[in-house]
Structure 1
Amino acid sequence: MLRIDNLCVRYGGIVAVRDVSLEVHASETVLLVGANGAGKSSLINAVIGMVPAAAGTIAFEGRSLDNVACAMRARAGIGYSPEGRRVFPSLSVRENVLAGAIGAGIADKRERYDWLCGAFPLLAERARQPAGQLSGGQQQIVALARAMSAFPKLLLLDEPFLGLAPVWIDRISDAVRQMQGRGTTILMTEQMARPALRLADRAYVMRGGEIRRSGSADEIRAAALADEYL
């Protein structure tokens, strides 16, 4: 579904991603794991079109994303939940979630919100509450639901566990499993590899903007015992 070949991302003279190649197949969950500054978020930003590729190619469902605007990538079926629980603080939980339902009519939005409330009961309990009044973990649920409200083919999750207590990591993991149950393809970045590897089929280890290791989730988990990236 997603294919990246020899991708390079630069910020001025700084190379953030260097010659990275990876694939994500339909209905698969793939993890990008690495420390802060490894290049994970820069890769995700290149996929959604927020930063240009200095070199290399990105293809989605066999179509090159070169010169495709962010909005058109979203309409093509790429959803995105950014790092840092970014919600619209003055808008209600419901308004935040439905902001991601691109192009859906009123009836479709109602149906989607009802499904999301079934998956994430918090959305029904706090529907009218301003999202800025929620805890960090609750805001992350809202951000995930907003990304999911478009029912994307490919969902990009950037550091969904960042700064969360274990109880919220468990709840976010349950939310991801709900998405997997719908057959959603997921590419996730994470520093906290151990809980993320429980959700992944395969993983790539990034360090210094490069892929240093790849394999099944079990292979990466086993290798982690003797390596510092976990």
Structure 2
Amino acid sequence: MLTVRNLELHYGGIAALRGISIDVQKGETVLLVGANGAGKSSLINAVIGLVASSQGVMSFNGKDITRASCDARARAGIGYSPEGRRVFPTMSVRDNVLSGACRRGAVLQRDAWQWLCGIFPLLSERSEHPAGQLSGGQQQVVAIARAMASSPKLLLLDEPFLGLAPVWIARISEAIRHMQSRGTTILMTEQMARPALKLATRGYVVRGGEIRRSGSIEEIREVALAEEYL
């Protein structure tokens, strides 16, 4: 579904990614694991189109998206939940979530809202509250629900467990499993390897902007857990 080949990304004179190549097959959950500053978020930002790569090629469902706009990638079926939640603080919870389904029409938006409230009861309980007044864990639920609202073919999750208490890690994990049961393909980054390893089917260990190890979860587990403490 997603193919990235020899991707390089620079911020000024600093190389954030060096020759990165990954594959994500339909129906997989693929984990990018590494310490803070390893280049995981830079790769996600390049895939969604927030930053331009200096070299390399990306394709999605067989189509070259290397120079496509963020909007075009979203319309192609790539959903995105950013690191640090980034909800619209003054907008209601409901409006935040449905902003992710703004092109789907009133009926599909209503269906998406009802479906997501079934997964996250918090959404209906706080539907009219400004999202900025929620706790960090609650805001993460809103951010992920917003990404899910468009029913993406590929869901990008950037550090979904960052700074969350165990109870919220469990709830977010359950939501990810729900998306997996629907056949959604997921590419997620995470520094907290332990909960992420329970969800993924394959993974890549990223360090210094390069892929240092790849393979099945069992093949990368030891190295991934070591990265968690770097």
Q: Shared topology, TM-score over 0.5?
A: yes
**Corresponding position of 1:181:** 181
Partner residue, 1:96:
96
- Identify the residue that residue 121 of structure 1 maps to in structure 2: 121
Q: Are positions 1:18 and 2:5 aligned together?
A: no
Q: Tell me the alpha carbon deviations over residues 37-96 of structure 1, each in whole angstroms, 9 at most, x when there is no partner.
A: 100011011101111111010100011112211001000000000000110111111000
- Give the superposition deviation at 1:182: 1.1
Question: Distance in 1 between the 2:3 and 2:37 partners?
Answer: 22
Q: Find the residue that maps to 2:100 and give its secondary structure.
A: coil
Contact 2:35 2:227 in 1 (8 A): no
Residue 125 of structure 1 deviates from its aligned partner by 1.2
Residues 37-116 of structure 1: matches in 2 within 5 Å?
37-116=37-116
After TM superposition, give the deviation of residue 129 of structure 1 in Å. 1.1
Instruction: Provide the TM-score with structure 2 as the length reference.
Output: 0.97
Gapped regions of structure 2 (runs ≥ 5): none
Q: Aligned partners of 1:147 and 1:201: how far apart in 2? A: 21
* Paired residue secondary structure (2:157): strand
2:179 aligns to what SS in structure 1? helix
- Once the 2 structures are TM-superposed, how far is the Cα of residue 102 of structure 1 from its aligned partner? 3.6
**AA paired with 2:108?**
D
**CA distance in structure 1 between the aligned counterparts of 2:151 and 2:186, rounded to whole angstroms:** 12
Worse-superposed segment, 142-151 or 112-121? 112-121
Counterpart Cα distance in 2 of 1:28 and 1:17: 23
Structure 2 residue aligned with 1:6:
6
The aligned residue for residue 140 of structure 1 is: 140
Aligned to 1:221: 221
In structure 1, distance between residues paired with 2:182 and 2:209: 32
Per the alignment, do residues 150 and 188 of structure 1 end up closer, same or farther by CA in structure 2, a change over 3 Å counting? same
% same residue: 68
AA in 2 matched with 1:95: D
The whole-number CA distance in structure 1 between the counterparts of 2:107 and 2:31 is 34
8 Å contact from structure 2 (residues 7, 17) kept in 1: yes
| Aligned residue identity for 1:179 | M
> After TM superposition, what 4+ stretches of structure 1 lie above 3 angstroms from structure 2?
222-225, 227-230
- Tell me if structure 2 keeps the 8 A contact 1:75–1:102: no
TM-score normalised by structure 1 residue count: 0.97
CA drift at 1:223: 4.3
Query: Using the alignment, how far apart are the partners of 2:66 and 2:20 within structure 1?
Result: 16
